[in-house]
Amino acid sequence: DVKVTQSSRYLVKRTGEKVFLECVQDMDHENMFWYRQDPGLGLRLIYFSYDVKMKEKGDIPEGYSVSREKKERFSLILESASTNQTSMYLCASGTQLAFFGQGTRLTVV
Amino acid sequence: GESVGLHLPTLSVQEGDNSIINCAYSNSASDYFIWYKQESGKGPQFIIDIRSNMDKRQGQRVTVLLNKTVKHLSLQIAATQPGDSAVYFCAENTGNTPLVFGKGTRLSVIA
Strand-strand pairing, A4-6 and A56-57 = unpaired
Q: Are A34 and A89 in contact (CB under 8 A)?
A: yes
Interchain pair A95, B96: CB under 8 A: yes
Q: What is the pLDDT of residue A20?
A: 97
The predicted-structure confidence for A77-100, as pLDDT tens digits, reads as follows 999 999 999 999 999 999 889 999
The predicted-structure confidence for A4-38, as pLDDT tens digits, reads as follows 999 999 999 999 999 999 999 999 999 999 999 99
Residue in A24, A102, A97, A38 with CA at minimum distance from that of residue A67: A24
| Residue B32 contacts A where some CB pair is shorter than 8 Å | yes
| Residue B7 contacts A where some CB pair is shorter than 8 Å | yes
| Residue B53 contacts A where some CB pair is shorter than 8 Å | no
Q: What is the longest distance spanned by two Cα atoms in chain A?
A: 38
Q: Are B88 and B101 in contact (CB under 8 A)?
A: no
Residue A57 CA to its chain's centroid (Å): 12
The predicted-structure confidence for B52-76, as pLDDT tens digits, reads as follows 999 999 999 999 999 999 999 999 9
Nearest CA in chain A to B3: A40
Interchain pair B99, A95: CB under 8 A: no
Number of helices and strands (H, E) in chain A? Answer: 0, 12
pLDDT band for B7, please (50, 70, 90 cuts): low
Ordered DSSP codes for B8-71? PPEEEEETTS-EEEEEE---TT--EEEEEEE-TTS--EEEEEEETT-SEEE-SSEEEEEETTTT
What is the per-residue burial (b if ≥16 Cβ within 10 Å, else e) of B41-51? Answer: eebbebbbbbe
Please state, in angstroms and rounded to a whole number, the distance separating the CA atoms of residues A71 and A73. Answer: 6
Q: What is the pLDDT of residue A96?
A: 86
What is the per-residue burial (b if ≥16 Cβ within 10 Å, else e) of B69-86? Answer: eeeebbbbbeebeeebbb
| Residue A96 contacts B where some CB pair is shorter than 8 Å | yes
Q: What is the pLDDT of residue A45?
A: 96
| pLDDT mean across residues, chain A | 95
The pLDDT of B37-47, averaged and rounded, is 94
The pLDDT of B8-37, averaged and rounded, is 93
* ∠ Cα A62 A64 A69 (to 5°): 140
Helix (H) or strand (E) holding A21: strand A19-21
